């Protein structure tokens, strides 16, 4: 199977064939953008200092070392929990034109609607691989809102085949995590009943 690589700027047609569970990689521009940046834009109405149209954001708090002459080196870049951004994400997608959102764990109906209406996707990056992820960062090209501290700074990185990224919400609003919840809940009911039968003597 050919490796699917999304290259920024990402267009709607690049995403339309993707379905939940598909694995993709990213080449181009990846911007770390998490809690405070979302709140500044949506709640405070502060425009982001980075144009995200057609780009990808990463819900992440990286570890970065500042080198000489204003250069930076990415040491570790692991995902943070995406659900914390859930209440902002639909408006965020609409306002910024971001096409790929990467994080940890699933997101909810607000993000589903944002992805469906504006043709974006959410993807999860495997946990525990933050140092490995940093090896896909070719260069940190910019750093904005450094007053927020290292985890919340908007680190603008050039990446090559960053991933694997598992599509969890597609452009039709399908949600892998919610679909799996239904399947797993159905599977667990007979198991719970069987266990209850085996341990009912404990009462």
Round to whole Å and give the CA distance between 167 and 133.
17
Respond yes or no on whether the N-terminal peptide bond of residue 133 is cis (omega within 30° of 0): no
Catalytic residue among 38, 59, 95, 118: 38
User: Active site includes 38?
Assistant: yes
Round to whole Å and give the CA distance between 203 and 152.
51
Cα 110 to Cα 13, 15, 67, 88, 90: the distances in Å are 22, 19, 40, 8, 6
Round to whole Å and give the CA distance between 87 and 120.
16
Q: Which residues pair with 190 in a beta bridge?
A: none
Q: Which residues pair with 143 in a beta bridge?
A: 155
Give the chain's radius of gyration (CA, Å). Answer: 19
Phi, psi of 137 (to 5 degrees): -85, 110
DSSP 98: -
Q: Which residues pair with 26 in a beta bridge?
A: 6, 162
Which active-site residues does the annotation give?
38
């Amino acid at each position: 199977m050919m490796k699917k690589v999304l290259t920024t700027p990402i267009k709607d047609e690049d995403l339309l064939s993707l379905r939940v569970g598909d694995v993709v990689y990213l080449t181009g521009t990846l911007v770390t953008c998490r809690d405070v940046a979302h709140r500044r834009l949506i709640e405070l109405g502060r425009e982001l200092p980075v144009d995200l149209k057609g780009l990808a954001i990463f819900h992440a708090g990286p570890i970065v070392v500042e080198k000489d002459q204003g250069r930076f080196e990415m040491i570790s870049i692991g995902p943070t929990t995406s659900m914390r951004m859930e209440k902002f994400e639909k408006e965020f997608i609409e306002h910024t034109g971001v096409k790929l959102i990467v994080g940890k764990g699933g997101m909810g109906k607000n993000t589903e609607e944002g992805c469906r209406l504006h043709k974006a996707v959410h993807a999860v990056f495997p946990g525990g691989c933050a140092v490995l992820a940093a090896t896909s960062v070719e260069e940190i090209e910019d750093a904005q809102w450094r007053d927020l501290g290292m985890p919340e700074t908007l680190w603008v990185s050039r990446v090559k085949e960053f991933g694997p990224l598992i599509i969890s919400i597609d452009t039709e609003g399908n949600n892998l995590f919610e679909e799996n919840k239904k399947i797993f809940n159905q599977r667990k009911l007979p198991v719970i009943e069987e266990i209850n039968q085996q341990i009912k003597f404990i009462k």
